[in-house]
Each structure stands twice: as C-alpha cells, then as structure tokens.
C-alpha cells in the first residue's frame, strides 16, 4: 500500500516537473534575443552591490563589495587572463625579475593619466604602496606588502612605525622602479594583480579619508558619486589607455537588502546583473531565466579541516582522514543539498588556477564506503569514534554540514555532528583561539592564480592562513625551495609535487569548488563573462541599444 502511494506521489512530481520544463522552454524562446539587436557603447549597466564596509581605498577592501567597485576605478600593473590565469600587462609595460627573483624591475607604459588629469608615474605606485603598508593608516590589506624589504619598518608587529617608506622600493625614473623582496618569490608578478597594488594620485595623500569617499583612479571607469547604501555610479573614462577599455558607458551599482529583492528586480529588468540567485529560487532560476541564467565556476574551495591541536587529531594517522574524505559522497551532495551551486573538488588547488591538476588527489576524493571503512580501520580508527564539524549558523552551511555528516556516518559508522556557532564572528573566534573541538569548515578564495596560494598560504607551518596547527617540515622545505625556483613553471611543478605530499598527510579534506549561480537581465547584450575571482569582467559587458 505504502509503495503504491509513493509511486503516485512520484508520478505527480514528474508531471509538475514536466510542466515546469515546458514553461522553461517557452521562456527560452522569448529569451533567445540575447544576442540579437545592437550594443550601445554608451549604455549604462545596473549591477548589484552591497554597501562596501570600508572607504574606497585600494588596500582597504577585504570584502568583495568594495573590491568590485575599486576594480572598475583602478587599474593595476598586471591582470589575469580569464580561464587560463595567464598574466596580462595593464599599466605595466614589463615586470621582470633578477636571476633569483628577489629584485623585480617594473617598467610603466608612459603617458597614463589619472581621472583628474595628472600623470601616472613610478612615484604614484611607490607612494601608494608605502602609504597602504603603513600600520598607522589602518588598511585591512596592509600585510600584502610583507614580501617587500623594509616592511617591518612601516608595519612593525608592535608599536609605532619607524619609517614611512619601505627601503625595498626604489624609483629609477618616471616610468621605472624596482622592488627588492626579503626573499625569492618566483611568482611575485602574479601577486601584483590584486587591488592593493594600484597607484594613487598626488591628491589622495592630502586627504585620504575624503579620497576614500570620492576615489580618483587610473582605471577604465571614473568615479561619479556614492549615495550611501543606495547607489554608486561610475562612468567610462575616455582617456583610458589600457587593454580593457569599457565596452559600456558606465555602471550603476545598486544596493539591495536581500538576494530575493535583487532577484525580483532582475526579473523585471530593473537590474542587469545579480550577485547570487537566492537560495529559494535555486531550483527554478534556470527555467525562469532561460539562457540568461549564469552558472560559472570560480577559483575557490571549501573544505573541512581537522584541528590538529586537539587530542583527537594530534597524532592521527593520515589514513583516517583519507578514510573520512572517501566517506563523503560529494557528487550527490553537490547535486541535491547544494542544488548544483558547487562542483566536487578533486584537488587542494581550485580549478582555473595555474598548477591545478585534474584528479590530483586521486581516489582520496572519490566516494568509496568500503575503502573508507578500511582506511579508518587501518589507521587505528577515529579517537572517540565521533567527530564534529564547526560552522557558523548565520550563513547557510547547516544543510551541507548535515549532509556530509550523514554521509560519513552511513559509510563508516563514525558518529558525526554539526557544531554550530551563532555567527561568523563567534566561529572565527573559536578558530583563532584554537578552541575548535574536532573539525571546522574552511573556505579559501584565490588571491592570485598560482597553486602556491592554495597550499603555502594555508598549510605552511608559519602561514597566517594556517589556523589548524598543521605542520609538516617536508612540505615547508619543498615550498621554500619552490618559491626560489628560477621560473614560474618550475615553481608550479614543485608545488604540484608538494600537493602529492599533502595528499599523504591530509591537512584538510577538500569538499568542493564554488560556482556562481547568477543571472543577467534582458537588457544585456551577449553573455556576461566572469573572472576567476567570481566577479564579472564588467568592462566587457555590453548593453543593448534601445530600439
């Protein structure tokens, strides 16, 4: 009886699903006009943005919102090619290392202008970096300059800075300067693609606070206005000389209180791009939007990390962690609980990053309950036969934590529970103070697209991003050697070796890579292309001409 009933219910569900797809089919027909018509080079794009947390100063955007605006206003020395992560020169003509990659020479393309008409020179960069690195100026990204010689003078661990200039930065002439590093970093040029390395005009230093409200940059767009919590306007900068000239007339960044509100505005064409489809619409957005739905992967990874300072994991046999990893059914969880918003991870390094190797972790990320059980048994079992995964309850982590736990429990019989912290602050607090009881949720979005960023900066013994207490001498040595390699290729290769080392030692269990589930309005011409940091390449977005 029961069986018959559920069969009927399934049939009913199938009919609804069919109806929905039929509906989607119709929508698609009406949507296929995405590439028809003409682009208007002066059309204004409306994009979603939450209020930036900090003033719009290049080194003061730790969160994505401020960074989204800054990237339109400022251009750095280099940028990355989407998809391959290859280096592209923007304001720099060349960035070249010396023999051991410890001194870098930067040549600028001459004649670049700031939006206020002043010229971009070596001084604009050097002054900017010196100011941003200074601990007194309270820039959240100040530690990005720590590779440069003399960083400790402007940014001491304690007390007031001894100098206001880093000794490692030397101006040669108006368009040339050198950067001396404290050690060898073969991929230093890649780091230069981040927002913090932007130049600043003379006027900035007279009143940095005011400049943070009304930034003047050298980028493809010039800043127009910031109506707090409502709207930030940027417009195309006609004097821009970089390779990434704006293909639209400007962007209105509109503030939304919730993803739901933004989504309904997108559907009524009041908004041209949204950041993320609200969770409530994830199952239906592809039908709602047809080919205007965006489903793009970006370079970020989510993992669960054992706290190696706990009794449980202090002297653990890595086989046990490998076993736990193999007990997680990533395919099913990403498809069902996460509604396809993630793809299963098969490596410590996210896809799209230089040095990512498909299947680098081999069987360790494959779901195999029998093998999982065996590995855990061989490794001496999980102490206490119970693990917990700490997460913050103010974001939607609970569903997948429960699913992962369920998967582990079913496959191996190891008891697994979620350890919920009320909010992100409390979660971080427990992590920083080494109070995590068993395992915790970890996430990492790329800083620069080289595989070292996903390993050295997370699992190096002294890495600031290493909060689990993990330490592996062999890995540290290999990483140090890799950083000193002559060419980037060698570095990347050595880090790939290091990844195999980590595979046998399991500092974390990678779960999945992130995807952007988003959408665009009917006013956008062609499909929006994304960069690897998970944000659109706004300069390439075209707006349809009004008929």
Partner 1 sequence: MGRYVARRLLQMIPVFIGTTLIIFLMVHILPGDPIRAMWGDKAADPAQVASLRHEFGLDQPLWKQYVDYMGNLFQGDFGKTFGGREVIDEMSESFPVTLRLTAVAMIIEIIVGIGLGAWAGLRAGKAADTGVLIFTLIVISIPVFVLGFLARFVLADQLGWVAPNVQDSTDYAQLFLPGFVLAMLSMAYVARLTRTTFAENLRADYMRTAMAKGLPRRRIVGVHLLRNSLIPVVTFLGTDIGGFIGGAVVTEGIFNVQGVGNLLFKALQQREGSTIVGVVTVFVLVILVINLLVDLLYAVLDPRIRYA
Q: Does 467 bind partner 1 (CB under 8 A)?
A: yes
Cβ atoms 415, 386 nearer than 8 A: yes
Which residues lie closer than 8 Å to 312 by C-beta, 6 or more apart? 306, 382, 383, 384, 387, 438
Report in angstroms how near the CB of residue 547 gets to partner 1 at its nearest: 20
Structure tokens at 393: 């309850």
DSSP H helical ranges for 305-440? 311-314, 318-326, 330-335, 369-378, 398-412, 424-432
Report in angstroms how near the CB of residue 432 gets to partner 1 at its nearest: 7
The DSSP element (H or E) to which 390 belongs, if any, is strand 386-392
Structure tokens at 149: 């010689």
Q: Does 272 bind partner 1 (CB under 8 A)?
A: no
Q: Which of 45, 47, 55, 67 is in the footprint of partner 1 by CB under 8 A?
A: 55
What φ, ψ does residue 352 adopt, rounded to 5°?
A: 90, -10
Number of residues in the chain = 547
Q: Does 212 bind partner 1 (CB under 8 A)?
A: yes
Quote the CA–CA distance of 437 and 311 in Å, as a whole number: 9
Report in angstroms how near the CB of residue 372 gets to partner 1 at its nearest: 27
Q: Which is nearer to partner 1, 458 or 485 (CB)?
A: 458
Which of the ranges 259-267, 326-334, 360-368, 515-523 carries the binding residues for partner 1, by CB under 8 A?
259-267
Q: Does 461 bind partner 1 (CB under 8 A)?
A: no
Q: Which is nearer to partner 1, 9 or 424 (CB)?
A: 424
Q: Which is nearer to partner 1, 441 or 503 (CB)?
A: 441
Which of the ranges 45-53, 291-299, 488-496, 509-517 carries the binding residues for partner 1, by CB under 8 A?
45-53
Report in angstroms how near the CB of residue 426 gets to partner 1 at its nearest: 5
Distances (CA, A) of 181 to 95, 150, 168: 14, 9, 7
Q: Which of 127, 195, 252, 265 is in the footprint of partner 1 by CB under 8 A?
A: 265
| Helices then strands, each counted (H, E), the chain | 18, 20
Instruction: Please work out the total of residues on this chain that contact partner 1, with binding judged by CB under 8 A.
Output: 55
Cβ atoms 122, 109 nearer than 8 A: no
**Which positions from 426 through 445 interact with partner 1, judged by CB under 8 A?**
426-430, 432, 442-445
**Which positions from 281 through 300 interact with partner 1, judged by CB under 8 A?**
none
Report in angstroms how near the CB of residue 46 gets to partner 1 at its nearest: 11
SS3 483: helix
**Which positions from 136 through 165 interact with partner 1, judged by CB under 8 A?**
136, 138-140, 142-143, 155-158
The strand pairing partners of 89, in sequence order, are 78
User: Tokens 């969770």 appear where?
Assistant: 279
Q: What is the binding site for partner 1 (CB under 8 A)?
A: 51-55, 62-63, 135-136, 138-140, 142-143, 155-158, 209, 212, 228-230, 255-258, 260-262, 264-265, 267-268, 270, 394, 423-430, 432, 442-445, 457, 463-467
């Amino acid at each position: 009886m029961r069986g018959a009933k559920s069969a009927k219910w399934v049939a009913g569900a199938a009919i609804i699903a069919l109806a929905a797809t039929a509906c989607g089919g119709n929508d698609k027909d009406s949507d296929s006009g995405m590439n028809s018509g003409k682009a208007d080079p002066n059309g204004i794009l409306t994009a979603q943005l939450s209020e930036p947390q900090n003033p719009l100063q290049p080194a003061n955007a730790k969160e994505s919102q401020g960074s989204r605006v800054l990237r339109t206003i400022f251009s750095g020395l280099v940028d990355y090619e989407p998809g391959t992560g290859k280096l592209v020169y923007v304001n720099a003509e060349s960035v070249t290392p010396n023999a051991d990659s410890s001194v870098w020479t930067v040549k600028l393309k001459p004649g670049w202008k700031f939006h206020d008409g002043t010229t971009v020179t070596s001084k604009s960069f050097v002054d900017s970096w010196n100011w941003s690195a200074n601990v007194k100026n309270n820039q959240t990204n100040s530690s990005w300059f720590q590779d440069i010689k003399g960083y400790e003078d402007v940014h001491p661990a304690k007390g007031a800075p001894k100098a206001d200039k880093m000794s490692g930065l030397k101006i040669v002439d108006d368009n040339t300067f050198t950067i001396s590093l404290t050690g060898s970093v073969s991929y230093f040029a890649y780091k230069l693609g981040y927002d913090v390395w932007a130049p600043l005009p003379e006027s900035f230093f007279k009143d940095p606070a005011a400049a943070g409200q009304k930034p003047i940059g050298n980028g493809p767009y010039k800043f127009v206005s910031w109506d707090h919590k409502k709207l930030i306007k940027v417009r195309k900068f006609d004097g821009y000389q970089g390779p990434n000239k704006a293909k639209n007339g400007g962007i209105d960044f509109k503030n939304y209180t919730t993803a739901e509100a933004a989504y309904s505005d997108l559907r009524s064409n009041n908004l041209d791009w949204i950041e993320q489809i609200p969770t409530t619409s994830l199952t239906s957005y592809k039908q709602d939007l047809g080919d205007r739905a965006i489903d793009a992967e970006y370079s970020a990874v989510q993992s669960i990390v054992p706290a190696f300072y706990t009794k449980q994991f202090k002297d653990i046999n890595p086989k046990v962690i490998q076993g736990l990893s193999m007990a997680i059914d990533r395919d099913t969880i990403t498809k069902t609980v996460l509604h396809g918003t993630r793809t299963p991870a098969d490596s410590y390094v996210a896809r799209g990053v230089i040095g990512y190797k498909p299947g680098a972790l081999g069987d360790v990320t494959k779901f195999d309950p029998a093998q999982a059980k065996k590995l855990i048994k061989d490794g001496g079992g999980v102490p206490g036969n119970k693990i917990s995964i700490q997460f913050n309850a103010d974001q939607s982590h609970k569903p997948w934590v429960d699913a992962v736990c369920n998967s582990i429990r079913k496959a191996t019989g190891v008891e697994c529970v979620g350890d919920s912290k009320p909010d992100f602050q409390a979660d971080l607090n427990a992590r920083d103070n080494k109070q995590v009881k068993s395992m915790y949720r970890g996430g990492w979005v790329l800083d620069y697209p080289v595989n070292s960023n996903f390993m050295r900066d997370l699992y190096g013994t002294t890495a600031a991003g290493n909060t689990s207490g993990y330490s592996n001498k062999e890995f540290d040595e290999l990483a140090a050697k890799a950083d000193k390699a002559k060419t980037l290729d060698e570095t990347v290769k050595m880090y790939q070796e290091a990844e195999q080392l980590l595979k046998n030692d399991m500092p974390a269990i990678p779960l999945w890579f992130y995807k952007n589930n988003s959408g665009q309005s009917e006013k956008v011409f062609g499909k929006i292309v994304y960069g690897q940091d998970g944000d659109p390449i706004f300069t390439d977005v075209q707006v349809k001409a009004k008929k």
